[in-house]
Amino acid sequence: MTEQLAVQPGFRVVPFGEARRMVGNLGVRRERLSDAHVRALVDESRADLIVTGRIPDYGAVRWQYWVGGWAMTATAHLLTVGFASGWNPAVVGSFMALDLSTDLPFWWGGAYAFGWGLRSVRVQVEAVQTELCGGPLWRTQTVMVLIPGKTLAVFPPEEQRRKEVQLGVNLERAIRDVADAAGQSLRLKSCGPEPEPGDTRR
């Protein structure tokens, strides 16, 4: 993400290698940074903002995003099959088994069909201001699922089908989306008193 943030106007970013070294010196592995970790990073980097990111979903569509839609679709299909078959238990049971066996792998693990990919990647990013009046300043997340065929077309045909390639594409798209959002809305908070209405002093 450092490369994507570095091209945003108004940002001067600590290089990734240097930031990784600092975090490694803290002994942090996968857990969130504590307040003590943030203070240590501030002391060493002298940064105005500490931006942290997480990838909670990589390769699976979280059930919160698809169960509701699947349930509505499955119910509509079930009613159609039920009325058409006179609610024959064998027909209805076979349909539900087929529906579950095809839809659950599709949504849970993703898929590739007709040149398009479906690989879920979710990125969460938080920014903390480090000045005395600082604290949590900005938070966003983005989810990328669908990969258009034209996006995958830049890869050789044998690479387009690979799950890791599709996940890498969506991760890059998600990080770029977050960086663009930061460039538009992430700004330092002023520590000074708010000007009184009508105060025109300079």
pLDDT in tens, 3-26: 888 888 888 888 888 888 888 888
Is the domain of 75 the same as that of 120?
no
In tens, the pLDDT along 142-172 reads 888 788 888 898 999 889 888 899 999 999 9
> Is the same domain home to 149 and 124?
yes
Residue 197 domain flag = no
Q: Which domain holds residue 74?
A: 63-108
Domain termination residue (choose one: 52, 73, 108) = 108
- Judgement on whether residues 157 and 87 belong to the same structural domain of the protein: no
Q: Is the pLDDT of residue 177 over 70?
A: yes
Residue 201 is predicted with a pLDDT of 39
The C-alpha atoms of residue 99 and residue 74 are separated, in whole angstroms, by 8
Do 136 and 95 share a structural domain? no
pTM equals 0.68
Residue-wise pLDDT for 32-58, tens only, equals 777 788 888 888 888 888 888 888 888
- Burial grade of 123 (CB within 10 A; 0-12, 13-18, 19 or more): buried
CA–CA separation, 143 and 135 (whole Å)? 25
Q: 50 with 11, same domain? A: yes
Average pLDDT over residues 62-77: 73
In a domain, 191, yes or no: no
Residue 136 pLDDT: 82
Give the residue from 40, 31, 12 showing the smallest Cα distance to 130: 40
Tell me how many domains the chain contains: 2
Asked, for residue 193, whether it belongs to a domain, the answer is no
Task: Note whether residue 103 is domain-resident.
Answer: yes
Asked if 153 and 179 sit in the same domain, the reply is: yes
Contacts of 138 (CB under 8 A, 6+ apart): 126, 127, 182, 185, 186
86 plus 179 within the same structural domain: no
Dihedral through CA 77, CA 80, CA 82, CA 83, nearest 10?
A: 170
Domain presence at residue 88: yes
Residues 143 and 159 in one domain: yes
Which pair of tokens denotes residue 11? 């940002």
Q: Are residues 41 and 8 in the same domain?
A: yes
Tell me what pLDDT residue 106 has: 60
Q: Do 104 and 83 have their domain in common?
A: yes
pLDDT in tens, 98-151: 877 666 666 666 777 778 887 888 899 999 888 766 778 889 998 887 888 888
